[in-house]
């Protein structure tokens, strides 16, 4: 299991580095595919679709899910080819209205709870993940987009190492029994330190008139806090619905939501803090 997990992690990291370095249509396309899978994993976990029959391993999406997936594709097309906030907001609101329209004209096929789940799943995974693209395509995005990885995966690594070495006090025993207070602090400080070093040696080249290593460290530290919130929120959903993993797509890791749960909330936080503090 360890080597399987390690190999999957290396492949994911290579894809992330390659797509985030290149940006543009490649990154938008990969994020769109990831978002479609994340959306489907969430709707299945939250029981948007009906239960699968006995012996059935795959359930076809229902009408609400088809509308949501069409909305995801449209949103990423607008993001890449238009990119203006007004049109992106139109895409989000349009998808919501389409779901409401389907709910009304097919009543009583769908329950109100299913509509809420479909809308939540659309916003939670796909829309929040799009901030990876928006960060990369912003001014100096080639430098600032890596803060998302530092804040999420860097925090995970540091928190795991510190927790293993000195972790004692369990901070969320009912939600995540293995997480310790020491590990959480180590993850935040580790991400902030890595971010500061990255800012000093690399990002300041893109901002020669500024001394911004400390700003990068703060952004990565705040992003690390949010990455743990994202991880715990995704875990809470699984515990509420008594499931171990969101899927089996990534060997050793589970589904897209199991691996990208922290990045989903780190990406928008990084984008907004970058706009406020750097650009």
pLDDT (tens digit per residue) in 146-175: 999 999 988 988 998 998 888 888 888 888
Angle at 86 between CA 99 and CA 216, to 5 degrees: 105
**Which of 67, 72, 70, 69 has the alpha carbon at shortest distance from 110?**
67
Percent of the chain with pLDDT over 70: 95
For residues 171 and 111, which has the higher predicted lDDT (pLDDT)? 111
pLDDT for the residue numbered 70: 98
Q: How confident is the model at residue 264 (pLDDT cuts 50, 70, 90)?
A: very high
pLDDT recorded at residue 58: 62
More confident residue, 148 or 251: 148
Q: Which residue has the higher pLDDT, 255 or 90?
A: 90
Rg of the chain over Cα atoms, rounded to whole angstroms, equals 19
Contacts of 215 (CB under 8 A, 6+ apart): 199, 277, 278
Q: Which residues pair with 197 in a beta bridge?
A: none
- The pLDDT, as a whole number, for residue 54 is 47
pLDDT at 52: 47
**Would you say the C-alpha torsion 185, 123, 72, 46 has a positive or negative sign?**
positive
Q: Which two tokens stand for residue 79?
A: 């993001």
Q: Using 50, 70 and 90 to split pLDDT, how confident is the model at 57?
A: low
Nearby residues of 66 by Cβ (< 8 Å), 6 or more positions away = none
- Evaluate if residue 142 carries a pLDDT over 60: yes
Tell me which range, 22-26, 178-182, 255-259, is most confidently predicted by mean pLDDT: 22-26
pTM, entire model: 0.92
| Per-residue pLDDT tens over the stretch 217-231 | 999 999 999 999 999
Helices (H) and strands (E) in the chain, counts: 12, 0
Task: Decide if pLDDT at 53 tops 50.
Answer: no
Residue 61 corresponds to which tokens in the numbers above? 């999406």
- Strands (E) in 149-243, as ranges, are none
CA distance 56 to 65: 19
- Whether the predicted pLDDT of 96 surpasses 70: yes
Average pLDDT, the chain: 89
Residue 170: φ, ψ to 5°? -80, 125
Q: Which residues contact 31 (CB under 8 A, 6 or more apart)?
A: 76, 129, 130, 132, 133
Mean of pLDDT values over 60-82 = 96
């Amino acid at each position: 299991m360890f080597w399987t997990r390690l190999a999957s992690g290396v492949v994911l990291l290579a894809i992330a580095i390659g797509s985030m370095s290149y940006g543009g249509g490649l990154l938008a396309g990969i994020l769109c595919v990831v978002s479609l899978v994340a959306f489907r994993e969430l709707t299945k976990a939250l029981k948007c679709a009906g239960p699968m029959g006995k012996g059935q391993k795959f359930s076809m999406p229902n009408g609400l899910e088809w509308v949501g997936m069409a909305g995801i594709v449209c949103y990423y097309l607008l993001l890449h080819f238009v990119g203006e906030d007004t049109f992106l907001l139109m895409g989000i609101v349009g998808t919501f209205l389409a779901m409401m329209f389907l709910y009304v004209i097919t009543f009583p096929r769908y329950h109100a709870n299913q509509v809420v789940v479909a809308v939540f799943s659309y916003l939670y995974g796909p829309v929040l993940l799009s901030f990876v693209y928006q960060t990369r395509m912003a001014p100096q995005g080639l430098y600032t987009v890596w803060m998302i990885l530092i804040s999420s995966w860097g925090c995970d690594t540091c928190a795991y190492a510190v927790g293993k070495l000195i972790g004692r006090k369990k901070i969320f025993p009912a939600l995540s029994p293995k997480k310790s207070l020491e590990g959480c602090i180590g993850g935040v400080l580790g991400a902030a330190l890595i971010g500061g070093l990255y800012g000093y040696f690399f990002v300041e080249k893109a901002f020669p008139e500024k001394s911004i290593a400390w700003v990068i460290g703060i952004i990565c530290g705040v992003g690390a806090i949010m990455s743990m919130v994202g991880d715990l929120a995704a875990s809470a959903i699984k515990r509420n619905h008594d499931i171990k993993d969101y899927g089996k797509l990534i060997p050793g890791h589970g589904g897209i939501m199991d691996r990208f749960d922290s990045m989903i909330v780190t990406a928008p936080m990084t984008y907004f803090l970058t706009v406020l503090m750097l650009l």
